[in-house]
């Protein structure tokens, strides 16, 4: 008798919600809402059904923004990959309504190969960076895709503040580890805490953001509050959420997904429709809110801004 063992990081098919099932569930919930008082709905769902309340004022669209139709606030805040809460894409919105815990000040450590390390409260971290002209309508893709109006500032601005030295070749990021707030961390789906990394020139590219909001308001828990990375030409798992540690390092950092599946998830993780994932094609994607799939673009359509970063590299080996 052949017994198949589940590998670290491998998610059972039963844990994955396809978009049609998601739509059916949303239709059911919308119908049920007629019979249920709105006060009894989960906070995240009640919030998502209403118009977002702007937190950031006088935002001006970035020159790098796409002109494509934005996904709705509800779509963006109710269909999320956030394994720290659940592997199912609809559950994080229900489980992160009180995340992060406001009684615990959010702090971010910046250290490693830099001349100005430090530990910062969230407000002190973002205070020097004007957000008045910092809304970025970026495509994001993970096999399914969305167009999201992120509020944030270039990671390069923060890097310059930390003054990395000549030994800093990469930037490593770490997510909060707190299983009581993030119950998905109680399961050995990944080697917690979640880590990711970028090469220094990738981190300094003007498309690479530290995001603190979307649709003009502060990030909700399921979207990576209070501060997350956004790297729009890479697959979504590179855009690490709820960051507590930024470290400048000399050697290539090993990310959480590289540990879980080194033959499936490489360091670069650039959107490349010409290279299939070992278990599925990456040539087409489904935009949330659309029925038919569309062709996936190289570098997610941002080749003009980032292709030069990979000149001379074999992108089938450096996947």
pLDDT of 225 reads: 98
Which CATH superfamily does the domain covering 14-310 fall into? Answer: Oxidoreductase, molybdopterin-binding domain (3.90.420.10)
User: What's the CA gap between 11 and 260, in Å, rounded?
Assistant: 11
pLDDT of 53 reads: 73
Tens digit of each residue's pLDDT (9 = 90 or more) over 60-100: 899 999 999 999 999 999 999 999 999 999 999 999 999 99
More reliable by pLDDT, 288 or 37: 288
CA distances for 105 relative to 95, 102, 151, 153, 290, angstroms? 20, 7, 21, 21, 39
Q: Residue 58: how many CB atoms within 10 A of its CB?
A: 9
User: Can you read off the two tokens belonging to residue 134?
Assistant: 């910092």
Half-sphere exposure of residue 37: CA atoms within 13 angstroms, side-chain side:
2
The residue written with tokens 């109680």 in the block is 186
User: Can you read off the two tokens belonging to residue 287?
Assistant: 């935009």
User: Average of pLDDT values for 132-156?
Assistant: 89
Tens digit of each residue's pLDDT (9 = 90 or more) over 9-44: 444 433 434 444 434 444 433 333 333 333 333 333
Tens digit of each residue's pLDDT (9 = 90 or more) over 154-180: 999 999 999 999 999 999 999 999 999
Let me know how many helices (H) and strands (E) the chain has, helices first. 9, 12
pLDDT band for 135, please (50, 70, 90 cuts). confident
pLDDT over 90 percentage in the chain: 75
Is a pLDDT exceeding 70 seen at residue 49? no
pLDDT of 255 reads: 97
Closest CA to 285 of 144, 137, 102, 101: 144
Ordered by start, the domain boundaries in the chain are 14-310
Name the average pLDDT for the chain. 86
pTM for the model? 0.84
CA distances for 168 relative to 67, 135, 162, 202, 258, angstroms? 36, 29, 11, 13, 21
Buried-exposed string 243-261: b where 16+ CB fall within 10 A, e elsewhere: bbbbbbbeeebebbbbebb
């Amino acid at each position: 008798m052949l017994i198949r063992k589940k590998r670290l990081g491998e998610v059972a098919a039963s844990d994955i919600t396809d978009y049609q099932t998601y739509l059916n569930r949303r239709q059911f919930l919308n119908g049920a809402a007629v019979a249920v008082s709105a006060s009894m709905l989960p906070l995240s769902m009640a919030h998502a059904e209403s118009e977002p309340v702007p937190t950031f004022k006088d935002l001006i669209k970035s020159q790098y923004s796409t002109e494509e139709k934005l996904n709705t606030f509800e779509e963006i805040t109710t269909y999320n990959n956030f394994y720290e809460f659940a592997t199912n894409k609809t559950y994080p919105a229900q489980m992160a309504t009180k995340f992060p815990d406001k009684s615990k000040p959010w702090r971010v450590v910046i250290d490693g190969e830099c001349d100005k390390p430090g530990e910062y409260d969230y407000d002190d971290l973002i205070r020097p960076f004007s957000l008045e002209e910092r809304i970025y309508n970026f495509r994001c893709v993970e096999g399914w895709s969305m167009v999201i109006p992120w509020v944030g500032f270039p990671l390069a601005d923060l890097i310059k503040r930390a003054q990395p030295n000549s030994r800093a070749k990469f930037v490593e990021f770490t997510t909060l580890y707190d299983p009581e707030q993030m119950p998905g961390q109680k399961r050995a789906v990944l080697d917690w805490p979640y880590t990711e990394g970028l090469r220094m020139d990738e981190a300094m590219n003007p498309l690479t953001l530290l995001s603190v909001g979307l649709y003009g308001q502060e990030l909700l828990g399921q979207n990576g509050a209070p501060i997350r990375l956004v790297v729009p030409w890479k697959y979504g798992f590179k855009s690490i959420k709820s960051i507590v540690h930024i470290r400048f390092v000399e050697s290539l950092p090993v990310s959480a997904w590289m540990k879980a599946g080194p033959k499936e998830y490489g360091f670069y993780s650039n959107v490349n429709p010409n290279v299939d994932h070992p278990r599925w094609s990456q040539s087409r994607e489904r935009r949330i809110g659309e029925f038919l799939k569309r062709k996936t673009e190289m570098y997610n359509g941002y080749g003009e801004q980032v292709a030069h970063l990979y000149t001379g590299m074999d992108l089938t080996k450096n996947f």
